[in-house]
Amino acid sequence: MKTLLGFIRKEFLQTLRDPRMRILLFLAPCVQLTIFGVALSTEAKNIRLGLFGAPHDSALQEIHRKALASGWFIPARTQATNPYEQIQKGEADAVLVAPTGGLDRSRGRGEGEVQLLINATNVTRAQGIERYMGSVVRSLYPQEPPLRFDVRVLYNPAMRSALFLVPGVMSMLVCLITILLTSMSITKEKEMGTFETLISAPVSPEEVILGKTVPFVLLGLSNIPLIVGVAVALFDMPLRGSLWMLLLAAVAFVFCTVGIGLFISTIAKNQQQSMMGGFLYLFPSVLLSGMVFPVENMPWVMRIFSYINPLTYFIELLRNIMLKGGDLRLITTNVLILVAMAVIAITASWRRFKTTLS
């Protein structure tokens, strides 16, 4: 135990000795979360709205004015006279097109159809434009259908994209720090020439694995309160679940990512290879985690990779705990999956490290 504690102390001193490393560990995640949380948004904003119709068409002009007053749309500065050209040349994101003879005359005939051309090169933005314009038209011309729906939006009534994206960004930052730092731990020993000293020292492979795992687990966990604090303070993220649920999920996830980073370090021969291996793992891991794109929308072949991705389960845990209050069954299932992944990753690292020693 004394040897193990000395080994852990050495790892802490070696990691935190460099001031730049302390900035990378504790300041960079807060800055990145702030930048990503502000920059990333799925909401359609500043939609350039064009108009194609007669100036005396009062109904069409009223829809246009109401859309601009909603705050979602801005007037498009167009020179093209054809509505399709306005979209094609990138002068407008959407164009209101009056029916033949004007919207006033069309409403007088009992039709009242107006066409909306939307640039759908960005599908998510196009869906937002359609939804916003629909609400504008309904507010002007409410109808009473035979069946009415009383819609209630739960957990995110304001439909803020930050409440959806920030938990994913939090998970990504923890994953990034733990995997990259841990993946360079053994390769740094190899490059500095201290790996041979480590092998010849009276330290077992199990003690080396624990000595390389525990410090980075603690450093990874130390980022959790910082990142959660930034999310709550700057983005008004709710924290409806218990702190012990959040801590339990974080411990399981950090052990898992540290184990993966340690396994990468046993394969790589230098720090450049370990850093590249970390990025090669992180890029598909983030894309297939459900951070931005729902896992349910993916083909079943790709969904398999999502279900063996630890980031998928931690993002689901954070969203459930912070937004919904934490469902005990979901938390237990996801935490157990993360624990199983952590055991597999650390065991694989231990076996690979013993092979390296021999």
Q: Give φ, ψ of 206 to 5 degrees.
A: -65, -40
A 10 A CB-CB count for 298 gives 16
One domain, residues 208 and 265: yes
Instruction: Give the distance from CA 294 to its chain's centroid.
Output: 11
One domain, residues 34 and 75: no
Domain count, the chain: 2
- What pLDDT does residue 8 have? 64
154 falls within a domain = no
One domain, residues 234 and 112: no
- Domain boundary pick from 95, 111, 140: 140
Contact partners, residue 266, CB within 8 Å, separation at least 6: 186, 349, 352, 353, 356
CB 197 within 8 A of CB 219: no
One domain, residues 95 and 26: no
Report which secondary-structure segment, H or E, holds 50. Answer: strand 47-52
- What pLDDT does residue 93 have? 86
Contact partners, residue 143, CB within 8 Å, separation at least 6: none
CA distance linking residue 80 with residue 75, whole number of Å = 14
- What pLDDT does residue 143 have? 64
Cα angle for residues 128, 129, 132 (degrees, 5° grid): 85
One domain, residues 207 and 280: yes
- Domain boundary pick from 87, 108, 140: 140
One domain, residues 36 and 51: no
CA distance linking residue 136 with residue 65, whole number of Å = 10
One domain, residues 278 and 353: yes
One domain, residues 133 and 217: no
148 falls within a domain = no
146 falls within a domain = no
Please name every residue paired with 73 in a beta bridge, in sequence order, or none if there are none: 47
- Domain boundary pick from 110, 140, 170: 140
Token duo for residue 340 = 């199983």
Contact partners, residue 102, CB within 8 Å, separation at least 6: 53, 54, 56, 57, 59, 60
One domain, residues 173 and 294: yes
153 falls within a domain = no
Please name every residue paired with 118 in a beta bridge, in sequence order, or none if there are none: 94
One domain, residues 60 and 182: no
Question: What is the residue range of 81's domain?
Answer: 47-140
* CA nearest neighbour of 276 among 284, 287, 288, 264: 264
One domain, residues 93 and 217: no
CA distance linking residue 210 with residue 346, whole number of Å = 9
Q: What is the CATH number of the domain that holds 95?
A: 3.40.190
CB 119 within 8 A of CB 87: yes
Per-residue pLDDT of the chain (358 residues; tens, 9 = 90+): 666 676 567 666 666 676 766 666 667 667 766 765 554 555 677 888 988 888 888 888 888 899 899 888 999 888 777 888 888 777 888 888 888 777 777 766 666 678 888 887 566 678 788 888 888 888 887 764 444 444 455 677 776 777 878 888 888 888 888 888 888 877 777 777 666 666 666 667 677 777 777 888 888 888 888 888 888 888 888 888 899 999 999 999 999 999 998 898 888 877 777 888 888 888 888 888 888 777 776 788 888 888 999 999 999 999 889 988 888 888 999 999 999 999 999 888 888 876 554 4
202 falls within a domain = yes
One domain, residues 327 and 195: yes
CA distance linking residue 235 with residue 318, whole number of Å = 15
152 falls within a domain = no
CA distance linking residue 13 with residue 28, whole number of Å = 20
CA distance linking residue 238 with residue 344, whole number of Å = 33
